[in-house]
Amino acid sequence: MRRRLRAPLLLLALCIGLGVLVQLQLRHERAAAHEPLTDIDPAGVHRFAVECRGCTPRRFERVAGHWQMRAPHDAPADEAAVARLLAIATAPVLRRHAAGALDPARIGLQPPQALLRLDDRELRFGATDAIDGDRYVDTGTAIVLVPEQYTALLFEPAEREIARAASTPAATP
């Protein structure tokens, strides 16, 4: 009888061990979850502007539920491009520093390399961290680091944010 019970008991112990490992991994992932850059809901934003060094300033406004670029061109905006820009507001914060803990000039925040104005909030973007490549952001209350993959969109040309139908010339008959 011992031999008959050995395999099922071993299998049961293995299943319990795997269950414990899964629970530990889930707990670890929840603990590592990062807070968002702001508490702004991108769906609630009505207007925003992007400014950066070496770029043309861009302004956008939500009109009748659709995004319209107001500057440098007055044209319908590409909804996907706008959604990617608005996603910057919810980018994960990787590290946080107190407002006066870092020298703004040394991390590219004085003057900032880019500005993102979401309704009445302003985010100032500085240089990238030399080790990890994450970008410094001054939120007004703290200086944080967010992944560069979010903030690289701030430096795109305005033409990439115009809706394709508005940017393609009409075909001639």
Please give the biggest Cα pair distance in the chain.
Answer: 88
Query: What pLDDT does residue 58 have?
Result: 95
What is d(CA 37, CA 116) in angstroms, rounded to the nearest whole number?
12
What is d(CA 148, CA 45) in angstroms, rounded to the nearest whole number?
22
- Please state whether beta strands 66-71 and 58-63 pair in parallel, antiparallel, or not at all (unpaired): antiparallel
Query: What pLDDT does residue 32 have?
Result: 57
Residue 107 placed within a domain: yes
Query: What pLDDT does residue 8 have?
Result: 85
Among 24-33, 34-43, 77-86, 99-108, the minimum mean pLDDT is found in: 24-33
CA neighbours closer than 13 Å in the CB half-sphere of residue 64 = 1
CA neighbours closer than 13 Å in the CB half-sphere of residue 120 = 0
Among 24-28, 47-51, 135-139, 140-144, the minimum mean pLDDT is found in: 24-28
Residue 25 placed within a domain: no
What is d(CA 71, CA 158) in angstroms, rounded to the nearest whole number?
9
Tokens 């407002």 label which residue? 99
Say if residue 142's pLDDT is above 50.
Answer: yes
Residue 65: count other Cβ atoms within 10 Å of its Cβ: 5
What is d(CA 128, CA 147) in angstroms, rounded to the nearest whole number?
9
Say if residue 31's pLDDT is above 80.
Answer: no
What's the structural domain count of the chain? 1
**pTM, whole model, 2 decimals?**
0.75
Provide the domain limits for residue 91. Answer: 42-167
Residue 146 placed within a domain: yes
What is d(CA 137, CA 151) in angstroms, rounded to the nearest whole number?
10
Residue 52 placed within a domain: yes
81-123, pLDDT tens digit by residue? 999 999 999 999 998 888 788 899 999 999 999 999 999 999 9
